[in-house]
Amino acid sequence: MPLLTRTFIKTAMVCLAFALVLGILLTSGVTNGLFPVYIHLLVFGWLTQLIFGVIYWMFPK
């Protein structure tokens, strides 16, 4: 697996972990105004990075 693919997938997993922690904080009521940050981490952090990593792995050139 190319280095760029591994970097995309590792970054996606880090963003997913941060989003999960933030989601737990949001449901517990500790933070109220961070819902847009949560959505941004899930959509642009996890989903987009994972899609780019898998596409680059499937179609490297």
Distance of alpha carbon 56 from alpha carbon 45, whole angstroms: 16
Q: Give the pLDDT mean for 9-19.
A: 95
Task: Say which residue, 1 or 7, is predicted with more confidence.
Answer: 7
Local structure of 2: helix, strand or coil: coil
- Percent of the chain with pLDDT strictly greater than 70: 100
Residue 31 confidence (pLDDT): 82
pTM of the model: 0.83
Tokens of 23: 């989601």
Residue 30 confidence (pLDDT): 82
Q: Give the pLDDT mean for 35-57.
A: 92
Mean model confidence pLDDT for the chain: 91
Ramachandran region, residue 29 (left: φ > 0; alpha: ψ -120 to 50; beta: rest)? left
